[in-house]
Amino acid sequence: MGTSLPSPSPLPCEEVRVVSLLPSLTEIVAQLGKGEQLVGMSVTHECDFPPDVVMGKKVVTESFVDPKASQREINDRVVESLAQNNSLYALREGAFRDARPTHVLTQSLCDVCAVNFEQVKSKCSRLLADDPYKLLSVEPQTLRDVRDSIQVVGASLDCSRAAIDEALARFDEGRASVRERVHRRLDRRRPKVALLEWFDPLFTGGHWIHEMVEDAGGSYGLTRPGERSAVMTRSDLAAYDPDVIVLAPCGFDLDRCERDAKKILYDPEGEHFEWWSGLRAVRESEVYACDGNQYFSRPSPRLVEGIEILAEVLHGVATTPRGEEGARWRRLELPPR
């Protein structure tokens, strides 16, 4: 799951300076109580939590994807870049060097999510050649992997055993609490769930999504645990015939999710409306817009909150009361005829 590459020379014990190239790893660093040691992070629109930790930190990457583009435009840009073996992100060499990191946290699982790992490794070797550093690549694919990544990062940063155990306990107890509350409500079959992490084209939610749905009292037949997300056709979704559809676009918040759904799927004049409005879950208003960026896309401890969201929409299991301003999901309905 995680690979720690050898440091070029022994690391000093007195100072830890962390550069995180993924939002999920930034969150883990904060949970382990090392937020003050975070000196640099990626520039993507997703790097926003915890706000008191990320505020004012040095930006060490740049993105070549416009987050304001349409889903189809973003998908086309990604496909084109990957086909040409180009990275969607790059390190800002000056900022990265000036940050003088002792620890660089990244991943090699997905070039759509962060700077290409080979690029990171090469630039670390060149830009940090005169300083000791540790490069840690973490690739969680399941909820167990996410849990393990907390331990791996904690050990790499020389966190105390107590800090690591506390973070692990919060993750374990959060999952167990949701499962227990759901179990008390499971007086009927588990609803069949389709979680879509992209609408144009359609992508299934992969990796840890299967386990999240199972924890929340649903069934998920689109992928197996740990499998990557994949393109699916309209016919695939219709044949699957889900009871509930959860829309959680990768990297987008709740408002963007709702806007995209209304523009792409719920517009009576749009190309998708006819087939979309024919789906049973859509006709029965069992479609929910969610904040995919915060609670489903990033393999961080807050996936537990994603499980809570699923439990709430599937079974009405109450979570912490939230006003509309802090809402984490919204039900979507077909426009009146």
Contact 26/148 with Cβ under 8 angstroms?
no
Contact 177/137 with Cβ under 8 angstroms?
no
Which segments of the chain are extended strands (E)? 2-5, 18-20, 38-41, 58-59, 61-63, 89-91, 103-106, 134-138, 193-199, 202-204, 244-247, 287-290, 329-332
CATH number for the domain including 104? Answer: 3.40.50
- 99 and 246: one domain? no
Residue 79 lies in a domain: yes
Phi and psi based region of residue 227 (left: phi greater than 0; alpha: psi -120 to 50; beta: remaining): beta
Predicted pLDDT at 43: 52
Residues 6+ apart with CB under 8 A from 269: none
pTM > 0.85: yes
- 205 and 62: one domain? no
Residue 124 lies in a domain: yes
Predicted pLDDT at 109: 63
Predicted pLDDT at 251: 87
Residues 6+ apart with CB under 8 A from 189: none
- 123 and 253: one domain? no
Amino acid at 87: S
Nearest to 15 by CA among 132, 149, 176: 132
End residue of a domain, out of 139, 154, 189: 139
Predicted pLDDT at 45: 43
- 128 and 195: one domain? no
Residue 216 lies in a domain: yes
Task: Please count the other Cβ atoms lying within 10 Å of the Cβ belonging to residue 183.
Answer: 11
- 29 and 111: one domain? yes
- 66 and 134: one domain? yes
- 130 and 197: one domain? no
The strand pair at 18-20 and 103-106 is best described as parallel
Predicted pLDDT at 324: 47
Number of domains in the chain: 2
Predicted pLDDT at 92: 87
Predicted pLDDT at 191: 96
CATH number for the domain including 182? Answer: 3.40.50.1980
Predicted pLDDT at 54: 55
Predicted pLDDT at 329: 93
Predicted pLDDT at 315: 92
Residue 244 CA to residue 255 CA, distance in Å, equals: 20
Domain that holds residue 272: 167-331
- 192 and 296: one domain? yes
Angle between the N-to-C axes of helices 143-156 and 23-31, in degrees from 0 to 180, rounded to the nearest 10: 60
Residue 319 lies in a domain: yes
For the chain, residues with pLDDT lower than 70 are 1-14, 42-58, 86, 109-114, 319-326
Predicted pLDDT at 10: 43
3-class secondary structure, 242: coil
- 288 and 240: one domain? yes
